[in-house]
Structure 1
Amino acid sequence: MLETPKALPKTVSRSEWLAARKALLDQEKQLTRERDALNEARRRLPMVKLDKDYVFDGPDAKASLLDLFDGRRQLIVYHFMYDPDWEKACSGCTGFVDDLPVLKGLHERDTSLAVIARAPQAKLKAYAQAKGWDIPLYSSFGGDFNYDFQATTDEKVAPSEYNYRPRAEHIANNEPWFADGEHHGISVFLREGDEIFHTYSTYARGVEPVVPVLHYLDLTPLGRQGA
C-alpha cells in the first residue's frame, strides 16, 4: 500500500516547473520503453497445456473453462476474493468489478474475461444483484481451480503457494495474510481448438496494471491515498 505524501509539492515559477516536468518526462519515456520490453517478454512466455477439466457454477447453468472462452481464442480470469463463509466479498475485488471497462474492446480482439470466486453461486448472484452488476460471476466452489491457480491457499487441501512463494516464506516475512485463505489475481489462457493452455498468472501488486483508478490517482499530487 502506498501512503499519501505528508507534504504538498513546493510552489515554483512556471519556468522551474517546466524544467522539472521535462526531466520527469525523460523518466516516463524510459519506463514506457521498459514496459514495452516487459510486455514483449510476457508474450514470449512458454505455456502449459491443461490436463484437468474445470467446471464452474454459472448464474444460469454449469460452465466449463472452455465455455468461458465464449468461442474466443483468449480468456482472462480475474480471481475474485470471496470465501464461502464471508458475508460479503473483498472490497478491493468489488472495486475492480465496479471499474471494469466495457468488454467490447476485448471481444473485438478475440478475448473474453471471466470473474471467478470460491463462494457458492447463490451468494455470488445475490452480491452481483445488490451491486447492480450485469457481468456474470462464476463459482469454483467444491473444485480445484482456486487451489491450482493460487487463488486459495490451504495446506489441508494442497501445498500453499501464493505469488510464487511458499507459505513458510510469507510467514517468515511477517505476511500471514498471504499464507492462508483467499487471494486476488489474474490468470490468462489460450485456446487452440478444444485444447486450453495456461500462459500467465499474476498476483498482489501485479494486478495493478488493470486497475484504472490507481493509475488515475498516480497522476495526482496526493497519490493513492491508502488505496
Structure 2
Amino acid sequence: MTTHLTGSRDEWLAARIELLKAEKELTRLNDDLARRRRQLPWVRIDKEFRFETDEGSASLADLFRGRSQLLVYHFMFGPDYKAGCPSCSAIADGFNGIAVHLANHDVSLTAVSRAPLAKLQAYRQRMGWTFPWASSSDSSFSFDFNVSFTEQQQREGSIEYNFAREPAFEWRSGKEGDGASARASFAAMTGTDMQTYTRDRPGMSAFAIEDGVVYHTYSTYSRGVDGIWSMYPWLDRAPKGRNEPSGPWWRRHDEYGRG
C-alpha cells in the first residue's frame, strides 16, 4: 500500500491549481533569465582555433556552417578516454532530433571534444548519432573555454571551473550529490582513472558571427547543462521524480540490460 499522500479528485485539483501558480511564476522567471542571457555583452574572438571535422580542418567560423549562431556542447571525451562520458552521452541522445530544427532557425549545433576525430567518429557511429562533432585535439579551444585542464592544474589546485576555483583534485559535482564512488564509476566507464576523467568537464557555449567576426556570447557548466538534458524535464514530472540513488543509475543507451 502506498505511503504517499492520497486524496479525492477535488483535493487533487485544488492542489494542482495552487501548484500552477508557482509553475507560471517559474515560467516567467525562465523567460526573464533568457532575456538576460541575450543581453550579456559579446566578446570578440580574435584567436584562431582549428578543429578536425568530417569535412576536414575547420576554423571556429566554419563551425557555423553558414548560419549566424553557433551552440557548442563541450562533450567529455578526453584524448585518453576509450569511450565518451556516460552523462554527456545521455545528454547528446537528444541532439539528433533538435539539430535539424535549430539549423532551420539560423542556429548550428555541434559537439566539441579533445579526443582525436577518429575516436569521435567511431563512438558517434556506435551511438547512432548524426549531429556534427569536432575534435579540438590540436587547439587550445577546450582549455580556453574552461572545460579542459592539465595534470599540473589538478596538482596545483589552479582549476577554474563553473566560475569558481577548485582545490587540488576536486571535482565540483562531488559537492552536488555525486560521491567519489560515482565519479570513479563514470571514470571506469570511459576506460580511465578519476583524475584523467575529470581533466575534461561538461559545458555549453554560444557564439554569434557578424560581418565575419566571431563573438562569444554565453557559457554554462556543471549543473547549468541540466536545462539541455532532455531526460530530466521528463523525470521531474514523473511520480517519483529523478529518484536518484547514491551512484549513477544511467548507462549509455546501448548498455541497458547488460547486467
TM-score, normalization by structure 2: 0.78
Contact 2:109 2:132 in 1 (8 A): no
> Residue 23 in 1 paired to residue 18 in 2?
yes
One-letter amino acid of the counterpart of residue 138, structure 2: G
Contact 2:70 2:206 in 1 (8 A): yes
Which residue, 71, 74, 93 being the options, matches 1:76? 71
| Secondary structure in 1 matching 2:138 | coil
User: What is the aligned partner in structure 2 of residue 154 from structure 1?
Assistant: 150
For each residue in 1:1-39, what CA deviation from the matched residue of structure 2 results, as whole angstroms up to 9, or x when unmatched? Answer: xxxxxx863111111111111110011011111111111
Task: State how far apart, in whole Å, the 1-side matches of 2:41 and 2:132 are.
Answer: 30
| Secondary structure in 1 matching 2:89 | helix
Moved over 3 A (4+): 155-159, 169-180
- CA RMSD for the aligned pairs? 2.4
Which residue, 186, 194, 205 being the options, matches 1:187? 205
Which residue, 138, 159, 173 being the options, matches 2:134? 138
User: What is the aligned partner in structure 2 of residue 197 from structure 1?
Assistant: 215
How many residues matched? 221
For residue 59 of structure 1, report the CA deviation from its aligned partner.
2.2
Residues 1:41 and 1:8: Cα distance change in structure 2 (over 3 Å): farther
| Secondary structure in 2 matching 1:221 | coil
User: What is the aligned partner in structure 1 of residue 52 from structure 2?
Assistant: 57
| Secondary structure in 2 matching 1:23 | helix
Residue segments in structure 2 that go unaligned for 5+ positions in a row: 184-193, 245-249, 251-259
Contact 2:113 2:136 in 1 (8 A): yes
Contact 2:205 2:219 in 1 (8 A): yes
For each residue in 1:94-116, what CA deviation from the matched residue of structure 2 results, as whole angstroms up to 9, or x when unmatched? Answer: 11221223322212221101110
Residues 1:171 and 1:81: Cα distance change in structure 2 (over 3 Å): closer
Residues 1:169 and 1:223: Cα distance change in structure 2 (over 3 Å): farther
Matches within 5 A, 1:83-94: 83-94=78-89
% identical equivalent positions: 40
User: What is the aligned partner in structure 2 of residue 3 from structure 1?
Assistant: none
For residue 225 of structure 1, report the CA deviation from its aligned partner.
2.8
Residue segments in structure 1 that go unaligned for 5+ positions in a row: 1-6
Contact 1:8 1:221 in 2 (8 A): no
| Secondary structure in 1 matching 2:98 | coil
One-letter amino acid of the counterpart of residue 160, structure 2: E
Task: State how far apart, in whole Å, the 2-side matches of 1:131 and 1:17 are.
Answer: 42
For residue 160 of structure 1, report the CA deviation from its aligned partner.
2.2
TM-score, normalization by structure 1: 0.89
Segment of structure 1 superposing worse, 211-220 or 133-142: 133-142
Which residue, 32, 41, 54 being the options, matches 1:46? 41
Residues 1:81 and 1:171: Cα distance change in structure 2 (over 3 Å): closer
For each residue in 1:59-90, what CA deviation from the matched residue of structure 2 results, as whole angstroms up to 9, or x when unmatched? Answer: 23111110000111100000000111111110
User: What is the aligned partner in structure 2 of residue 104 from structure 1?
Assistant: 100
Segment of structure 1 superposing worse, 72-81 or 203-212: 203-212
Contact 2:51 2:138 in 1 (8 A): no
Contact 1:75 1:111 in 2 (8 A): yes
Task: State how far apart, in whole Å, the 2-side matches of 1:214 and 1:172 are.
Answer: 22
Task: State how far apart, in whole Å, the 1-side matches of 2:10 and 2:47 are.
Answer: 62
User: What is the aligned partner in structure 2 of residue 127 from structure 1?
Assistant: 123
Residues 1:221 and 1:166: Cα distance change in structure 2 (over 3 Å): same
Task: State how far apart, in whole Å, the 2-side matches of 1:111 and 1:208 are.
Answer: 20
Contact 1:189 1:199 in 2 (8 A): yes
For residue 157 of structure 1, report the CA deviation from its aligned partner.
6.8
Task: State how far apart, in whole Å, the 1-side matches of 2:161 and 2:223 are.
Answer: 12
